[in-house]
């Protein structure tokens, strides 16, 4: 006799929670500092001061907040060494690396379609907005 496994359909609360969580995560990573820090970390492990030197204009406080947020979301892994002075290293997690690859893919898409995007924007911006389409 064969037994069929039936997976329960996700209920509305599960879907709503997943959507809410996705929006929260996207808003945390979709800022210029997070994307720049993710890009700088790349495939390397860096000490705290190294991203600060490579991300032009980021303050110590903003770098701290950005790294904490990325760590909270599982994008960055933080390792603290019990040395004097303390040493703290940061690297992208597997999820962080996948996110970096996705963002790089979006940048490649933008470069590929830049002329079409510019043309569409100019056409849209000069179109009479008072007419119904």
Whole-number pLDDT of residue 5: 57
Enumerate residue ranges in the chain where pLDDT < 50: none
Whole-number pLDDT of residue 34: 94
Residue 24 tokens read as 């929260």
Whole-number pLDDT of residue 129: 66
Gap between the Cα atoms of 119 and 117, Å rounded:
5
Whole-number pLDDT of residue 7: 57
Helix (H) or strand (E) holding 90: strand 87-92
Is the whole-model pTM more than 0.95?
Answer: no
Query: Tell me: the pLDDT tens digits for 38-76?
Result: 999 998 999 998 998 899 999 999 999 999 999 999 999
């Amino acid at each position: 006799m064969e037994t069929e496994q039936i997976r329960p359909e996700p209920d509305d609360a599960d879907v709503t929670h997943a959507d809410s969580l996705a929006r929260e995560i996207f808003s945390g990573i979709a800022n210029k500092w997070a994307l720049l820090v993710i890009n700088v970390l790349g495939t390397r492990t860096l000490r705290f001061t190294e991203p600060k030197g490579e991300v032009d204009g980021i303050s110590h406080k903003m770098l701290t907040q950005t790294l904490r947020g990325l760590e909270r979301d599982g994008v960055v892994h933080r390792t603290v060494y019990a040395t004097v002075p303390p040493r703290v290293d940061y690297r992208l997690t597997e999820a962080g690396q996948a996110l970096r690859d996705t963002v790089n893919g979006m940048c490649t898409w933008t470069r590929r379609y830049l002329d079409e995007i510019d043309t569409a924007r100019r056409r849209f911006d000069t179109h009479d907005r008072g007419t119904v389409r």
